[in-house]
Amino acid sequence: MTRPRMRIGAVTITAAPEPHARELARFYERLLGWQIVDEGPKGGWGQLHPPEDAPDRTLLAINIESDQHHERPVWPSKPGHQNATTHLDIGVDDLDEAVTWALQAGATLAVDQPQAHVRVMLDPHGNPFCLCL
């Protein structure tokens, strides 16, 4: 059998129960300059798209989805705690400038920073994302 055409259209980030998905979507809107294009009732989910003029539109959407049993992940992982199962790697031209921007948008800098050219950040729900040169 020939592999059928497949493409990644979105990545989904988990948020605490409603209405926190809306709040987390607004964080990523501020951070990335993407637009919230759809929201579910009571703020239980949201979807963001990159701007039409974005130079690289390889990822079509970021979904933010509330989970009734969401637990804030711990990074780096620790036995017996909720671990982050996925994260965004965000390419940047200036690491210091990107960290400052992310902090102003509402992120926090993770205590553990294992690589010189990467900064691990945490979104307001504790989901890690990396700013990468």
Domain ranges of the chain: 1-70, 71-133
Helices (H) and strands (E) in the chain, counts: 2, 8
Percent of the chain with pLDDT over 90: 51
pLDDT in tens, 21-74: 889 999 999 999 999 998 887 778 899 999 888 776 666 899 999 888 888 888
Helix (H, G, I), strand (E, B) or coil at 64: strand
Q: Which CATH architecture has domain 1-70?
A: 2-Layer Sandwich (3.30)
Helix (H, G, I), strand (E, B) or coil at 66: strand
Average model confidence (pLDDT) across the chain: 88
What type of residue sits at position 19? P
Confidence (pTM): 0.86
Q: Which CATH architecture has domain 71-133?
A: Roll (3.10)
Beta partners for 71?
none
